[in-house]
Structure 1
Amino acid sequence: MAMKENKLDENVDGDYYVDDDCIGCGLCVSSAPDNFKMRDDDNTAYVFKQPENENEKHACESALDECPVEAIGNDG
């Protein structure tokens, strides 16, 4: 389970975030490319844009559900 107090600094403010448990697998970027990016070092992902419509929200929820280490959180 992702913990807000451990979220990565690169995340934009909002409901969705990635915490420091991220292993950089890239699954969230594949599931929700409009909202997640890999850091330049490719070690972790982060939320660069919060979802702005139902399609993006669904994609973010899919990424959250699929994350193998539960590093994605939703405080909404």
Structure 2
Amino acid sequence: MTWWPEARDELARLWVEDTSRQQIAEAADEIDRVLAVDPEARGEPGPEGFRRLTIRPLTVQFAVEEPDRMVIVVTVRLLTD
């Protein structure tokens, strides 16, 4: 499991700039845990073959690379509703 540098940088920016740091950190940790097991069955289909997973207050797009099933988080954003 890995995060693209751009996604990792965005996660860090969100954490620094938002007041809900604890929730952001907990959601990021949970995303890592959830995607570690059977990632193809997690979340919902997204654009361009990516999948989307939401664990509030974050939503991520990720890919599962074959043949080793490496999970790559490519985008992250903060839900504001």
> TM-score, normalised on structure 1?
0.34
Q: TM-score, normalised by structure 2?
A: 0.33
Higher relative CO (Cα under 8 Å, sequence separation at least 6) belongs to 1
